[in-house]
Structures are given as structure tokens and as C-alpha cells.
């Protein structure tokens, strides 16, 4: 019986040895497991194998896809769904004689494929620190860059537009083309003005009134009584970024009253100026007095809701300001003086924002000096900025935030970004859900509200 047992078992052992030898000769190997390990600086995918197979690696989709080919690999693995800050998905395809592993990345990044023995492993390390630049020219005079940075802070996505001011102009545009008509989506403002591009501009109230200095076609449409960083567009199209404030006064019959605001709701005891950019009328109540001015003289006097002339202005007074001008009559000469400071005296267009981000080529954030509240001054958020580039160019920038594809910027980080892209001087504009860029009528970024937030004003790019 013992001899018979040995005679029976020996062929079986020989048969198994021959099968194994044939399999090895054919080069078939087995993938038995797939593991994923996220880390602070890299993501790792590990393939568990019975032995190291031959394989090849290539990239596709401009570096955003890694493809591993295993010509002689049998697939017996349970494969988890894999996604992360760097990886969109990992998929698998059986080929005629093996297996293909496809890693789709959220952006081009550095990676390494390596192997270990005993036990056999092939692993793929995908770096979480990377930068990518996608550039194109959507129109003559414009160079657009989509910038993606990934590091220990997270993923940041920004859109930057280099504007050649030799062939293009920057202008201020109002929502619905007037203050009183209220806010409007940026894409609508861009369409109304047939702009090449647009970004959001001034801070604003919910009723559309602008917060901060604003001047267009030589007329004030917004005021501020802090010293805040302001963009001035000079007659030759060049830009200035300087700290500026507003002061104004009206003198009639030797009596001078300070201007409390321009193109805003009239307050108690205030003198408010209204021009054609406010709307068709002042929309004031009957408790004040209003003087229609053309060519430097009072042409009519009303108590409320005066029509605003296209070629003049309305002086609206209430309370103590009304009392000061009690003796004003039709025909009286009017002197209106407004001051933005010496550096912006010749600017036909002024757009207030702040704080400063870059000054003389160095990052310099002046949020404290300009008395910005903490919701603007601190933390990461969607942001909008404008910078001055050498050679008579401008840089418009919008950074997404509060979303999986972009963590947003602090003001200091935004300043560093503007400097990185060559800005010698730069300032911040309204951010959060307002931050948006439109190029050629198309929204470029992903506004953090999930849709376009209506804004009070925009900086538009038009052909010179």
C-alpha cells in the first residue's frame, strides 16, 4: 500500500510542477490586491503581486493621465474606488494579453513608479506639490492663464489675464448701466458693453450703491472717507495704484457745505450729489430740497425725486444742509469742488478697492492701515485683483475659493501670486461670491455661491 501511495502522489506533484513551470514560462503573473494610502505630501497606490511583472508607463492628456501597461498580468484583485485631492479616479481595462491601469489626475503633477521585493509590490507615488500653467490667447491683446497650484495648503485654482494696453483699454462699467437700477451679473455687464473681458470691481451695497471711490467719464459715482488703495486709469491708458480718499464741497452765495456722498441714498442733514450715472431721478423723499444745476448755475428748484439732467447734476440737501442753502434761488452760481488727491487729479476713471497687495515689486498688504474689517482682511477666500505689469500691460486675476478645487487665498498669498506673474504694483478688489472673470462672454471661474452673484460694477476690457 505504501508503494502504491507513492506511485499515486508522484505523478500529481510532477503535474503541479509542470503547470507552474509552464505558467512561469508563459510569463503570467497575478495581481492579488490594490491599496491606497493618502499622505500629507503624496498619495500612494500599491499593487500586491506574486512577483514583479514587466510593465511600461506613459502620460497622456497633457500630463493629467498616467497609464501603466502590464502585458502578462492576471487580475484577481478587489480594487477600491480611489479619489483624492490629486486623483480624479483610477480605472482598469483588460487588454488582449494583460491589464491596463489608468490614473486620471486633477492636474499635471510629479509622480514616481517603483517596486519592492519580498513581498512583490509595484507602487505609484503622486506628489501633492505641483504647479501647472495653461495659456492661450482668446483675442488680440489678451493672454489668459489658468494656474493650478497644489501643496501642503491644498489646491488653488486661479485665472489671470495679461492685457496689452497698447491695443486695449480698461474701463469702469456699472450694473444695469446705472446705480439706481441695482446690481447685475458680471456676464450681463460684459454682454451689455460688448467687452472682451470683465472682472468684478468695487465693493457695493445690496441696492447697487458703490462702496469706495468710483469715477467714470470724469464724474464721481462713488465715494469713501477712508484712505483706501485705488486704481486710476490715466488719459493715455496707463494705470496708477495709489492710496486715495475723497473730499468734496459745494459753494453757493458764499455758503459752503461739504459733500456727504455722490450717487447714494441721501442721509440726515446731508448734501448729496446726483449725476446721470445714478439713474433717471434722485428717488428722494419730500423732506429735502433739490437744486438742478447746468453750466454752473441753478436752473430749477424741487422738493423731491428730481429728474437728473444728462448735462448737469442735482444738489440734494436735508436738515442742516437744507437750512444752509435756504436762500438759494434760480440763477445762482454754483461751485462744486471734488478732490481725489494729486496723483489721481488727471484720472478720468477711478476705481476704489483695497488693500494694497504689491508695492514697487514687493508683497505689501495694507489691510490694517486701511481699516478693512476682518472678513476681508483675514482668512482664505475667493479673491479678485488688478496689477500693473511692465511694458504698458495690466494683469487681471481671479482666484476661486471655498470649493474642492480651490482653497482660496489670504491677502498675502494673493500678493505673492500677483508678484509671481510679474505685477510691480497690485491691489485687491471685492471678493467672496463676487469674484468672477468673464472672457469672450464666457464665465472662466467657478463663483463660490454656485452661480453668478449680481455685482455693482465691473472692470471691463474693450478694444482701444
Are 255 and 332 found together in one domain?
yes
- Inside any domain, residue 8: no
For the segment 128-144, the average pLDDT, to the nearest whole number, is: 95
Of the residues 128, 147, 166, the one at which a domain ends: 128
Question: Domain count of the chain?
Answer: 3
Are 173 and 274 found together in one domain?
no
Per-residue pLDDT tens digits for 347-378: 989 999 999 999 999 999 999 999 999 999 99
- Selected residue with higher pLDDT from 232 and 11: 232
Per-residue pLDDT tens digits for 10-20: 344 333 333 33
- Inside any domain, residue 20: no
- Inside any domain, residue 2: no
Residue 71 belongs to domain with CATH number: 2.60.40.3500
Are 148 and 240 found together in one domain?
yes
Least confident of 71-85, 189-203, 276-290, 303-317: 71-85
For the segment 452-457, the average pLDDT, to the nearest whole number, is: 98
- Inside any domain, residue 13: no
- Inside any domain, residue 5: no
- Inside any domain, residue 387: yes
pLDDT at 1: 42
Are 99 and 185 found together in one domain?
no
- Inside any domain, residue 44: yes
Per-residue pLDDT tens digits for 73-118: 999 999 999 999 889 999 999 998 899 999 999 888 899 999 999 9
pLDDT at 343: 95
Portion of the chain with pLDDT greater than 90, in percent: 88
pLDDT at 59 over 60: yes
Are 446 and 354 found together in one domain?
yes
Of the residues 107, 128, 149, the one at which a domain ends: 128
Of the residues 312, 339, 366, the one at which a domain ends: 339
Are 240 and 385 found together in one domain?
yes
Q: What is the pTM of this model?
A: 0.82
Mean pLDDT score across all residues of the chain? 93
- Inside any domain, residue 173: yes
Domain containing residue 233: 134-245+343-463
| SS3 labels along the chain | CHHHHHHHHHHHHHHHHHHHHHHHHHCCEEEEEEEEEECCCEEEEEEEECCCCCCEEEEEHHHCEEEEEECCEEECCCCCCCCCCCEEEEEEEECCCCEEEEEEECCCCCEEEEEECCCCEEEEEEECCEEEEEEEEEECCEEEEEEEEEECCEEEEEEEEEEECCCEEEEEEEHHHCCCCCCECHHHHHHHCCCCEEEECCEECCCCCEECCEEECCEEEECCCCCEEEEEECCCCCEEEEEECCEEEEEECCEEEECCEECCCCCCCCEEEECCCCCCECCCCCCEEEEEEECCEEEEEECCCCECCCCEEEEEEECHHHHHCCCCCCCCEEEEEEECCHHHCCCCEEEECCCEEEECCEECCCCCCCCCCHHHHCCCECEEEEEEECCCEEEEEEECCCECCECCECHHHHHHHHHHCCCCEEEEECCHHHCCEEECCEECCCCCCCCCCCECEEEEEEEC
Amino acid at each position: 500500500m505504501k508503494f502504491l501511495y507513492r506511485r499515486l502522489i508522484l505523478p500529481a506533484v510532477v503535474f503541479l510542477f509542470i503547470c507552474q513551470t509552464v505558467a512561469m514560462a508563459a510569463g503570467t503573473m497575478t495581481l492579488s490586491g490594490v491599496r491606497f494610502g493618502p499622505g500629507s505630501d503624496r498619495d500612494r497606490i500599491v499593487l500586491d503581486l506574486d512577483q514583479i511583472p514587466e510593465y511600461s508607463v506613459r502620460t497622456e492628456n497633457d500630463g493629467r493621465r498616467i497609464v501603466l501597461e502590464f502585458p502578462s498580468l492576471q487580475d484577481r484583485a478587489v480594487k477600491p474606488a480611489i479619489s483624492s485631492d490629486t486623483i480624479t479616479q483610477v480605472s482598469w481595462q483588460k487588454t488582449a494579453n494583460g491589464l491596463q491601469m489608468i490614473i486620471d489626475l486633477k492636474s499635471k503633477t510629479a509622480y514616481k513608479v517603483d517596486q519592492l521585493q519580498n513581498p512583490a509590490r509595484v507602487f505609484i507615488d503622486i506628489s501633492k506639490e505641483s504647479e501647472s500653467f495653461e495659456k492661450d490667447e482668446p483675442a488680440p491683446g489678451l493672454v489668459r492663464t489658468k494656474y493650478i497650484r497644489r501643496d501642503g495648503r491644498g489646491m488653488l485654482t486661479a485665472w489671470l489675464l495679461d492685457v496689452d494696453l497698447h491695443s486695449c483699454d480698461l474701463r469702469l462699467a456699472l450694473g444695469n448701466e446705472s446705480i439706481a437700477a441695482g446690481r447685475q451679473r458680471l456676464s450681463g455687464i460684459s454682454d451689455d458693453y460688448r467687452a472682451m473681458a470683465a472682472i468684478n470691481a468695487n465693493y457695493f451695497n445690496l441696492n447697487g450703491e458703490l462702496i469706495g471711490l468710483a469715477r467714470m467719464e470724469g464724474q464721481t459715482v462713488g465715494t469713501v472717507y477712508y484712505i483706501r488703495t485705488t486704481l486710476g486709469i490715466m488719459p493715455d491708458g496707463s494705470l496708477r495704484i495709489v492710496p486715495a480718499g475723497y473730499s468734496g464741497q459745494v459753494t453757493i452765495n458764499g455758503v459752503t457745505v461739504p459733500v456727504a456722498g455722490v450717487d447714494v441714498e441721501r442721509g440726515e442733514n446731508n448734501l448729496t450729489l446726483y449725476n446721470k450715472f445714478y439713474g433717471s431721478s434722485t428717488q428722494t423723499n419730500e423732506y429735502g430740497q433739490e437744486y438742478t444745476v447746468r453750466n454752473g448755475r441753478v436752473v430749477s428748484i424741487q422738493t423731491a425725486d428730481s429728474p437728473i439732467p444728462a448735462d448737469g447734476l442735482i444738489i440734494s440737501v436735508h436738515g442742516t444742509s437744507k437750512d444752509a442753502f435756504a436762500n438759494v434761488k434760480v440763477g445762482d452760481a454754483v461751485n462744486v469742488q471734488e478732490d481725489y488727491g494729486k496723483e489721481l487729479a488727471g484720472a478720468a476713471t477711478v476705481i476704489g478697492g483695497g488693500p494694497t497687495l504689491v508695492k514697487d515689486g514687493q508683497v505689501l498688504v495694507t489691510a490694517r492701515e486701511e481699516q478693512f474689517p476682518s472678513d476681508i482682511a483675514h482668512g482664505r477666500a475667493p479673491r479678485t485683483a488688478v496689477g500693473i505689469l511692465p511694458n504698458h500691460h495690466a494683469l487681471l486675476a481671479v482666484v476661486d475659493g471655498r470649493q474642492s478645487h480651490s482653497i482660496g487665498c489670504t491677502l498675502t498669498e494673493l500678493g505673492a501670486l500677483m508678484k509671481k506673474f510679474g505685477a510691480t504694483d497690485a491691489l485687491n478688489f471685492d471678493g467672496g461670491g463676487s469674484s468672477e472673470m468673464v472672457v469672450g462672454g464666457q464665465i472662466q471661474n467657478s463663483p463660490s455661491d454656485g452661480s453668478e452673484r449680481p455685482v455693482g460694477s465691473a472692470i471691463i476690457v474693450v478694444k482701444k
